[in-house]
Amino acid sequence: MNFALTEEQQMIVDTVRSFVETEIYPHEDEVERTGVVPRELGQDIARKCKALGFFGCNFPEEVGGAGLDHTSFTLVERELGRGSMGLTVFFGRPSGILMACNDEQREKYLLPAVKGEKFDALAMTEPDAGSDVRGMKCFARQDGDDWIVNGTKHFISHADIADFVIVFIATGEEDTPRGPKKKITCFLVDRGTPGFEIRKGYNSVSHRGYNNCVLTFDDCRLPSAQILGEVHKGFDVANDWLFATRLTVAATSVGRARRAFDYALNYAAERKQFGKPIGANQGVSFKLADMITEIDAADLLTLSAAWRLDNGLPSNREIASAKVFATEMLARVTDEAIQIFGGMGLMDDLPLARFWRDARVERIWDGTSEIQRHIISRDLLRPLGA
């Protein structure tokens, strides 16, 4: 077992961390205050990311990406997790699901996305279909070689900056031993398509500047050429994406937790009460010990799951374990960091209150903690016939 980073991986960590500290940190307070990332700033971050050779780094070299393996890309996401998501979204990582594009779609969507010429967003969640994805009501009926779509998607991250959206839509129904289930098809939908609208979503306490949107379809006509993958087989193209996004959430949670911990550690060493640093008191020092232990454990769980993916090993349970542990760890660490700072921890002078608020959503999106525990327990019990 070798836990050391390769020379290339250490270079990736150092480069991305430096980028976040110099290009992201200086703009965070303004984004937090306004909830807006100026278009010019986003374009500047994307341009600098391209100059580093990291734009689309999660894609193979044959399509213009950097060809990073899962472990190396997880390190990228971990370091990006230190910064505001409203800003780091422009450090382009298009959805890996675009690798399912056919030749014509590659020219129109995949290659421009990897080059940073187009931004994508991904839409699955609906008002009545969150964890129960097959309960979606957004429906497409076939009309000759076209599909007519009606329905609504919501909580769609960064669709406000997207040139096209990867949308999962019900296109039929099938009988199963557990009752009828929707057949799902994946479509590529361009901004500006008649009958398709991207609207501002809800105001969120988490990740200001990283906006959610509502998508509406009103007799939106899509040609069959817009189908990604095959009809009724949307989940076939979604599986790898779900692995990748859950790993990303785990990794960014680790990065954000380390940043919060650094604030708490330095403060505990500098802040004096009763004539000595507060870190000299076990009430504080033991908090620090628990925090770093949990952070390191989450880090190892996450990198181990990525390593399993790279080596073709079963990893569904391990990724779920990393996601649930890292996100819940982040909640505990940010809360304890604020406790160490006391009242100052809740003031706008420090980013700790933001870290604390941002942490809350990580246990919900990309599969709730309850869904992750369902995946883990199912993986354990099914081989035993339970």
Pick from 270, 260, 277: nearest CA to 339: 260
> Cβ distance 252 to 77 under 8 Å?
yes
The letter for the amino acid at 119 is F
User: Can you give the pTM of this predicted structure?
Assistant: 0.94
* Residue 2 lies inside a defined structural domain of this protein: no
What's the Cα-to-Cα distance from 374 to each of 15, 182, 202, 368, rounded to whole Å?
A: 37, 21, 28, 10
* Three-state SS at 83: coil
> Cβ distance 194 to 216 under 8 Å?
no
314-350 burial by CB neighbour count: b if 16+ within 10 A, else e?
Answer: ebbbbbbbbbbbbbbbbbbbbbbbbebbeeebeeeeb
* Residue 1 lies inside a defined structural domain of this protein: no
> Cβ distance 241 to 96 under 8 Å?
yes
**pLDDT value for 129:** 81
Statement to judge: residues 169 and 275 lie in one domain: no
Statement to judge: residues 249 and 228 lie in one domain: no
The whole-angstrom separation of Cα 275 and Cα 17 is: 36
* Residue 249 lies inside a defined structural domain of this protein: yes
The whole-angstrom separation of Cα 282 and Cα 286 is: 5
Statement to judge: residues 212 and 303 lie in one domain: no
Last residue of a domain, one of 115, 138, 154: 115
> For the chain, how many structural domains are there in total?
3
Last residue of a domain, one of 217, 235, 253: 235
**pLDDT tens for residues 264-304?**
999 999 999 999 999 999 999 999 999 999 999 999 999 99
Longest alpha-carbon distance in the chain: 80
**Alpha helix locations (H) across the chain?**
7-19, 25-34, 39-52, 70-80, 85-88, 103-105, 111-115, 234-270, 282-310, 316-341, 352-362, 369-381
Statement to judge: residues 248 and 285 lie in one domain: yes
* CATH number for position 363: 1.20.140.10
Expressed as residue numbers, the domain containing 129 is 120-235
Statement to judge: residues 231 and 249 lie in one domain: no
Last residue of a domain, one of 115, 142, 162: 115
Statement to judge: residues 250 and 354 lie in one domain: yes
**pLDDT value for 71:** 97
pLDDT tens, per residue, the chain with 386 residues: 788 999 999 999 999 999 999 999 999 999 999 999 999 999 999 999 999 999 999 999 999 999 999 999 999 999 999 999 999 999 999 999 999 999 999 999 999 999 999 999 999 999 988 778 778 999 999 999 999 999 999 999 999 999 999 999 999 988 878 788 889 999 999 999 999 999 999 999 999 999 999 999 999 999 999 999 999 999 888 876 777 899 999 999 999 999 999 999 999 999 999 999 999 999 999 999 999 999 999 999 999 999 999 999 999 999 999 999 999 999 999 999 999 999 999 999 999 999 999 999 999 999 999 999 999 999 999 999 98
Given the DSSP bridges, would you call strands 272-273 and 276-277 parallel, antiparallel or unpaired?
antiparallel
Statement to judge: residues 189 and 226 lie in one domain: yes
The whole-angstrom separation of Cα 30 and Cα 354 is: 13
Alpha carbon dihedral 158, 40, 43, 156, in 10-degree steps, equals 0
